[in-house]
Amino acid sequence: MERVVIAREGCKGCELCIAACPRTVLVMSDDFNRSGYHYSIFKNKEDCNSCTFCGIICPDVCIEVYK
């Protein structure tokens, strides 16, 4: 199981999770989801410490964090 699971199709590309991550783990996609938004990607996985900041800040509850 990944530490962070992002619901791609629920993401509206607000980038709040990108700003909230203290370890620069998340990045925005170059392509679009079905709603036409760039979406957040769990990229620099080895740097994640499961702090949950990204999951807490997402207004659309798209992010689940596992310890």
The contact set with ligand SF4 (CB under 6 A) reads 4, 6, 11-17, 20-21, 23, 25-26, 39-40, 48-54, 57-58, 60, 62-63, 65
The CB-of-44 to ligand SF4 minimum distance in angstroms stands at: 8
Burial class (CB in 10 A: 0-12, 13-18, 19+), 25: buried
The CB-of-36 to ligand SF4 minimum distance in angstroms stands at: 13
- Measured CA to CA in angstroms, residue 22 lies from 31, 52, 54, 65 at distances of 24, 10, 9, 15
The CB-of-1 to ligand SF4 minimum distance in angstroms stands at: 13
